[in-house]
Structure 1
Amino acid sequence: MTESESVVYRVVPKCACSTIGQIMYYSDHGEFFDGDIHDATSGMHKWAIADSQPKIKANVKTRTSYAFTCVRNPYTRILSSFFDKICGIQRNGKRYRGNLVPLLIQKYGIEVGGEDGKEDFDQIRSFRRFLLFARDTIRWRRPMEPDIHWSAVSGHVSTFIVNGGRYNKIFWTEAFNDGMQEVLNHIDTPHAIDLNNIPRFNESEGHGPKRAHPVEDYFDDLSMHLIYEIYKRDFELFKYDFENPGNKMPVGEIDLDEVHAKLGD
């Protein structure tokens, strides 16, 4: 939530959250946060900051401010998580979650492009093995709890509803400017935002190897079955095309009433 309480945003990992955070920061302060917005400990309210929690809770309960979130195609989102979090070196210079990658190499036989993630490896084979691991964490919570970067978007979105909030807008990462502009049209900010001149703050960019193939090449029949098992609600609620992994664009309009009804129990 902005300090001015102009807007409330439910963060969903791997869904343009860095760019949205920086836009919110700029709208209050007239400048971008110097660094990764996820590292900011002042200048905006965050649930992870103890002093912010009462303010966010009060605002959400009373639905005082315009509230929104942003979602993404499950196929491209989990691919992005694989290249960034599993194959990539993080901004602290280390592997994500310490022993996670060695565990995946040992238990699932994946490759990640060597020590620095820059060596050639069979991306498709390794990704499909990672998908088995992601399914195991989500379905059976082993060998560990599911990670926020590949747990379902609908799960992230639902906590806001369950705790008394109501979204005024849910938009797609794939139509970012249109969706973000609609949010900005509905709120008053201390500083105006020109979306055409806002850089994209992709904090995961460059962490890992580049994707070497089209999206659809990574998903065979079994992979698609696993994806549907994990992300069925995401496809249905946010209107993405399950049948065609190569089509990242939505195929229908998001029905906010349906989202609140199905995620609010």
Structure 2
Amino acid sequence: MGFPGTWMTESESMVYRVVPKCACSTIGQIMFYSDHGRFYDGDIHDATEGLHKWAREDSQPAIKANVKTRSSYAFTCVRNPYTRILSSFFDKICGIQRNGKRYRGNLVPLLIQKYGIEVGGDDGQQEFDQIRSFRRFLLFVRDTIRWRRPMEPDIHWSAMSGHVSTFIVNGGRYDQIFWTEDFNAGMQGVLDKVQTRHPVDLTQIPRFNESEGHGPKRLHPVEDYFDDLSMHLVYEIFKRDFELFRYDFENPANKMPVGEIDLAEVHAKLGD
């Protein structure tokens, strides 16, 4: 299976397991900058040079050799499941993607037809009942994850623990997992442990939120989107994420973690 979703600097200073919707654009650009002293011109997900990626066949031998021998500092970044699934809805379902089209072609028409979801019209900018549509989207997410229909789960809303685990199961080991919600402290923790070709000053690094502006603005506080049933569905889907990464399931309004991540526990529970 290898190491899907794994990126590594060309200098092999650090290895990162991408978790979608968890600051991956910013992290990728920081890795690129640390090697080249400049940012990639465009969305880092489109970069085909300057950064090793498992999706590039020519990068796979270098990544595999490095991870198997644990030669470099390996890390990943996670996010509150409530805000992550909301972000996926507004970006991927309601938004127009950077190619000018809807995400995954016929996905949105399918959701409109089968689940009665509204997305703000053709351009995603018209008014609609965001709360009602989001809750219906959650039913779709649950269906994809539990029964794999009407399609396989998408990487943007499948559980973070699933992404994180592939790296462990195939022989990798994380030196650090940090939270999007405390990004600067977490990313600085990584940079303090590695030697980079170019110094990185996190206070000067812009946030590369590539999904921003794709879809409508969220009109309500996070907690308004989650009634009792929605919280139950979220817990059913993301139970391991809440537990392993120490997020507060009881209170959707609290996006901050409520405890420290135990790396030994993560490796033990996701390494099966």
Structure 2 residue corresponding to 1:94, chosen from 97, 101, 117? 101
Amino acid at match of 1:151: S
Matched residue, 1:226: 233
1:127 aligns with 2:134: yes
1:38 aligns with 2:45: yes
CA distance in 1, matches of 2:145, 2:12: 34
What are the equivalent positions in structure 2 for 1:125-204 lying under 5 Å apart?
A: 125-204=132-211
Amino acid at match of 2:175: N
Given the two structures, how large is their TM-score scaled by the length of structure 1? 1.00
CA distance in 2, matches of 1:264, 1:62: 17
Secondary structure in 2 matching 1:12: coil
Matched residue, 2:222: 215
CA distance in 1, matches of 2:148, 2:189: 38
Secondary structure in 2 matching 1:67: strand
The alpha carbon displacement at 1:174 in A equals 0.2
Secondary structure in 2 matching 1:205: coil
Matched residue, 2:271: 264
After superposition, the C-alpha distances for 1:88-143 in whole angstroms (9 at most, x for unaligned) are: 00000000000000000000000000000000000000000000000000000000
CA distance in 1, matches of 2:148, 2:64: 29
Amino acid at match of 1:91: R
CA distance in 2, matches of 1:91, 1:157: 26
Query: Structure 2 stretches of 5 or more lacking a match?
Result: 1-7
Structure 2 residue corresponding to 1:65, chosen from 59, 72, 96? 72
What are the equivalent positions in structure 2 for 1:97-108 lying under 5 Å apart?
A: 97-108=104-115
CA distance in 2, matches of 1:235, 1:60: 27
CA distance in 2, matches of 1:219, 1:54: 44
Amino acid at match of 2:132: R
Amino acid at match of 1:78: I
Secondary structure in 1 matching 2:39: coil
Query: Structure 1 stretches of 5 or more lacking a match?
Result: none
Secondary structure in 2 matching 1:51: helix
Amino acid at match of 2:185: D
What are the equivalent positions in structure 2 for 1:9-88 lying under 5 Å apart?
A: 9-88=16-95
Instruction: Give the number of aligned pairs.
Output: 265
The alpha carbon displacement at 1:223 in A equals 0.2
Given the two structures, how large is their TM-score scaled by the length of structure 2? 0.97
CA distance in 2, matches of 1:199, 1:244: 30
The alpha carbon displacement at 1:18 in A equals 0.1
CA distance in 2, matches of 1:139, 1:63: 34
CA distance in 1, matches of 2:180, 2:261: 13
User: Structure 1 vs Structure 2: percent identity of aligned residues?
Assistant: 86
Amino acid at match of 2:134: F
CA distance in 2, matches of 1:153, 1:125: 25
- The runs of 4+ residues in structure 1 deviating greater than 4 Å are none
CA distance in 2, matches of 1:101, 1:8: 34
The alpha carbon displacement at 1:26 in A equals 0.1
Matched residue, 2:252: 245
